[in-house]
A and B are shown apart, each in its own frame.
Chain A
């Protein structure tokens, strides 16, 4: 059982930290086409890895903090602000706003650790593990389909579901947050490659359509 917490210090200067895709911020802006395919990084979201069995006593305690634990593949549950993504039968990822992190005074991780207690499972701060891309627009699905083998058609991939898969051969978690909006979670070291890959995939939609 691993217990990991961030150690907030008095002089945390968060303004000096750099997100994994920060060097691409300008390129993302230049490569985005409003309403068609827009890409940006949503940095520093609070993410917590959970290992716990649903339905057990400790699972219920943790579910009470997160607003439920999703049942199976694709499932996302949660309450306002906090979402829990299904990663495996006993593995989940909590995604919450940056402010939920204790470095900024949030108490999400502390509450999860308290709920875990000495029960069987794991609560690990993974906020620095992945970054978040937000891809939106009418052609967002077409962009993803160039490098993702999942069936992304709305009749299969509904709003509010998330899957671990690959985009451009990069392992990611892909979460459909709206009809035309997706959150993509690549690990930090893949953010640069995937960011450039997505920009490349978006490029054709910036050009006038061939009649």
Chain B
């Protein structure tokens, strides 16, 4: 169970919240000019980040307000909570963070190219070419 700090209400159980997906996905400026493919990518394609990930959350059984959160998708460590509309804060990768001892080779098919935020950690060799084409945006 995550304990999430709502900017309005303080720390509450994860069950009081709803997940709103990836943050900072802007609505297209000229939706009419998009091709079907671009429109589909805006609607359905999201990053599948291993590591620090900016996402939207709604405190649905509390103050009913949206906010953004920077969460590590591996350790579930909540690195930052910040208001909607605010730019994504930069969080230094913690050198002490260990992503467990399990081999990453087994799930390498779901791992895209490693992002800069996790490049300092020991993930072993990651072969981007093994990722399915659709997995990277």
Contacts and interface: CB of A to CB of B under 8 A. Distances in A.
The answer to whether A and B belong to the same complex is yes
Nearest to B15: A166
B63 A171 contact: no
Given A73-B8, A164-B62, A165-B16, 4 more contacts: A73-B10, A73-B62, A87-B63, A164-B61
B81 to A, nearest CB: 15
A56 interface: no
A171 B10 contact: no
A208 B13 CA distance: 34
A89 B13 contact: no
A88 interface: yes
Given A72-B8, A73-B8, A89-B8, A164 B63 contact: yes
A149 B16 CA distance: 10
B46 interface: no
B24 interface: no
A88 B8 CA distance: 8
Interface in A87-108: 87-89, 91
Contacts of A165: 12, 16, 61-62
Interface in A63-104: 72-73, 87-89, 91
A73 B12 CA distance: 12
B12 A88 contact: no
A145 B132 CA distance: 48
B9 interface: yes
A89 B9 CA distance: 10
Given A73-B8, A88-B8, A171 B64 contact: no
30 contacts: A72-B8, A73-B8, A73-B9, A73-B10, A73-B62, A73-B63, A87-B63, A87-B64, A88-B8, A88-B62, A88-B64, A88-B65, A89-B65, A91-B64, A149-B12, A149-B15, A150-B12, A163-B62, A164-B61, A164-B62, A164-B63, A165-B12, A165-B16, A165-B61, A166-B13, A166-B15, A166-B16, A166-B61, A169-B15, A171-B61
Residue of B9, B64, B65 contacting most chain A CB atoms (<10 Å):
B9
Contacts of B8: 72-73, 88-89
Interface in B1-22: 8-10, 12-13, 15-16
Contact of A149 (B9, B13, B65): B13
Interface in A159-203: 163-166, 169, 171
A57 to B, nearest CB: 23
Nearest to A171: B61
Contact of B63 (A89, A149, A150, A169): A89
Contacts of A149: 12-13, 15
A169 B13 CA distance: 11
A141 B12 CA distance: 18
A73 B5 CA distance: 13
B43 to A, nearest CB: 29
A195 B87 CA distance: 45
B66 to A, nearest CB: 11
Contacts of B13: 149, 166
Contacts of A166: 13, 15-16, 61
B9 A163 contact: yes
